[in-house]
A and B are shown apart, each in its own frame.
Chain A
Amino acid sequence: MNKTKAAIAGLALAVSAVVAQAGEVEVLHYWTSGGEAKSVAVLKDLMTKEGHDWKDFAVAGGAGEAAMTVLKSRAVSGNAPAAAQMKGLDIQEWADLGFLADLDGVAKKAGWDELLPSVVSDIMKFEGKYVAVPVNVHRVNWLWANPEAFKKAGISIPTTWAEMIASGPKLKAAGIIPLAHGGQAWQDATVFEAIALGMGGSEFYNKAFVEHDDATLRSDKMIEIFKMFKATRDLIDADSPGRDWNIATSMVINGTAAMQIMGDWAKGEFTAAGKVPGKDFICAPAPQTEHQYTFNIDSFALFNLKSDEAKEAQNTLARLIMEPTFQEAFNLNKGSIPVRQGMDQTPFDSCAKLSMKDFSETAKTGNLVPSFAHGMATTSAALGAISDVVTNFYNSDQSAEEVVVKLANAIKASM
């Protein structure tokens, strides 16, 4: 009896000793697939080299939905992890509830304000103070094309939406599905977003999807955009509902389809299939958005911690994430581009180089806009409302005139 008691006490001591060990960061993330897991391992190695312990807290599934549910219960019970992968306006919501740590010390020392475009740093700040640190940038307004398919149909890759619609019959005549698409709400929103940006321009886009200006949402321009959106429906095969994005990408890879509108995570599918950018597949900005850039940024929000050692480790984590070593290694694995400006471009492929060039250029001209389809522009409630309207419109015979009213009302109701 006494022996077991002693053993239990010893075990408890050992456990508490492990917990109390200095400088541990627990990081909640949902990067669990091949390339993504490799990218996280980079950060883990860097942290260990600095003498801190990394406690991996990966929650797979549902594009982070599962991770968010876990995070909520952990945070509410007063046991938040040191850092959690989080995007866009979710950061503001968490900061508003007082959960996030102030990173201004690290940010000032490393000069984050100079390294990040202000559209990006605004998302990472709450009331002027950094509460989160950006990891990478995905460009969303890409058009992925199979040049072989276009050669077969005898046409060139469309640069306007009207050309895109016009290319439909010719590609179909050559036995090719013009546009590969998966009928899921977020993919519908991704295509819609590209059309809205291309036809409406950056100012219109910001007014409608960032500020939710009622007149813009109900405008004739918006009706036109919805009409174009519906017209793309003819470019898609009948089996698209429910299809995952990577299945759609594989249709472009093997030539059954000619194009796909998708963020640059699609590139990973091409390279995994041994395809070379510029030769086997083309990455071009989505039609009419050549000088515009919709960004989707992954970031880590850092939570308030009690012990000083933990805070210290947390600050190290934040500093490392923004340093060139991590930014380069991570983004080469993940297929995105570094969020830090002024980095060496040589190790990156041609698509990433184009993306890096456009990112810094659009940051200056004001054409760098947040992707609403990926939660960078609006709260999850407003995003949900917009995607509901968009996806329902795409899959029903609603008219464009009707849908703009529904859009404006749905956004208002979600506020």
Chain B
Amino acid sequence: MANKRPFTDMLADSMPKLVLAPSFVIMMVCIYGYILWTAALSFTKSRMLPQWDFVGFDQYTKLMANDRWAVSSQNLIIFGGMFILICLVIGITMAILLDQKIRQEGFLRTIYLYPMAISFIVTGTAWKWLLNPSMGIQQIVRDWGYTDFTFDWLVNSEMVVFCLVIAAVWQSSGFVMALFLAGLRGVDQEMIKAAQLDGASLPTVYRRIILPSLKPVFFSAFVILSHIAIKSFDLVTALTGGGPGYSSDLPANFMYAHAFTRSQMGLGAASGMMMLGGVLAILIPYLYSELRGKKQ
């Protein structure tokens, strides 16, 4: 009896570790292990299957000289930048409007949040129809009598990347709104009341008190949105198929095409590592500021 207690105690102590161990191992192998594996592959001349013939930075040199890579990374900057910015602006605006203690708030909130429940494939297909010049928005407006109206971004290689932005913003801004709404509800009401007693107007209260206190929400929204942008693949596949030409290609599509269908695994791995670099460039400053904040 006296012996048993320490044992159960020990078991209780190590229980969390035991329970977490399988998922920890899976994560180490399937995420970090494969990151290293991909990194190693990117230095080989692997084509159809992995092949351990190391060629240094050759694949990266090829990648940098590749026109399609240049287009897709440029697209990512345009798409990512606009997508994040517009989502944040729309999300905050909607959150503030919904926060005005209006009727039917729960109902409205659900409507705005719903697109997030749809997969990007569905969003992409629906917007493909809406944006198609001969059967979508352009045609409807022309049928109304405005026969000069043109909205042919989907088939215009200069503008097609903005179609991606439209569809992605439609899908994700409701989610950003929900994040900010939760943040707004968490702001100390006493502070707001105090400010109002001091005669601060509503816009001032938002600008000086509420929004600054939402800084962590900003950061989370930014990180979530940027990783959605970088890993965007299904949206492009469904909405434009990368076209016209390859003008709406994003790095994820480039990586998939080369690693899996074109037997250029080395080049595909190199582009994957470049994408990882992009994610880290955003994530490391964020983690740094988060961790530093905790210490203080």
Contact = CB atoms under 8 A, between A and B. Distances in A.
Interface of A: 62, 65, 68-69, 72, 76, 90, 93-94, 97, 183-185, 188, 238-242, 379-381, 383-384, 388-389, 391-396, 406, 409-410, 413-414
A391 B128 CA distance: 20
B134 A239 contact: yes
Contact of B263 (A93, A184, A396, A410): A93
Contacts of A76: 49
B263 A239 contact: no
Contacts of B157: 395-396
Contacts of A383: 262
Interface string B254-296: 0001101111100000000000000000000000000000000
Given A406-B67, A413-B62, A185 B155 contact: no
A185 B241 CA distance: 10
Contacts of B241: 184, 242
Contact of B155 (A188, A240, A388): A240
Interface in B228-244: 240-244
A238 B152 contact: yes
Contact of A391 (B65, B133, B246, B264): B246
B246 A183 contact: no
A380 B240 contact: no
Most buried by A among B240, B241, B247, B263: B263
Given A65-B261, A238-B133, A238-B155, A183 B244 contact: yes
B243 A184 contact: yes
Contacts, number: 90
B245 interface: yes
Given A241-B155, A242-B241, A413-B62, A388 B246 contact: yes
B178 interface: no
A384 B257 CA distance: 9
Contacts of A241: 154-155, 240, 243-244
B48 interface: yes
B66 interface: yes
A395 B49 contact: no
A381 B134 contact: no
A239 B49 contact: no
A97 B260 contact: no
A414 B264 contact: yes
B68 interface: yes
Given A242-B128, A242-B244, A395-B157, 7 more contacts: A65-B260, A68-B260, A97-B48, A185-B245, A380-B262, A381-B47, A381-B263
A94 B132 CA distance: 41
A27 B241 CA distance: 30
A69 B260 contact: yes
A396 B245 CA distance: 8
A32 to B, nearest CB: 18
B211 to A, nearest CB: 41
Contacts of B260: 65, 68-69
A72 B152 CA distance: 40
A181 to B, nearest CB: 12
B222 to A, nearest CB: 32
Interface in B31-65: 47-49, 62, 65
A379 B263 contact: yes
A92 to B, nearest CB: 11
10 contacts: A65-B261, A69-B260, A76-B49, A94-B48, A183-B155, A185-B246, A242-B155, A380-B263, A396-B245, A413-B66
Contact of B240 (A65, A242, A409, A414): A242
B245 A391 contact: yes
Contacts of B154: 241-242
Nearest to B257: A384
A409 B67 CA distance: 11
B258 to A, nearest CB: 7
A396 B247 contact: yes
* Most chain B beta carbons < 10 A, residue from A242, A391, A394, A395: A242
A93 B48 contact: yes
A232 to B, nearest CB: 15
A243 B98 CA distance: 41
A383 B157 CA distance: 22
B158 to A, nearest CB: 9
A184 B260 CA distance: 19
A233 to B, nearest CB: 11
A413 B48 CA distance: 16
Contacts of B242: 185
Contacts of A409: 65
B18 to A, nearest CB: 26
A183 B243 contact: yes
Contacts of A97: 48-49
Nearest to A72: B49
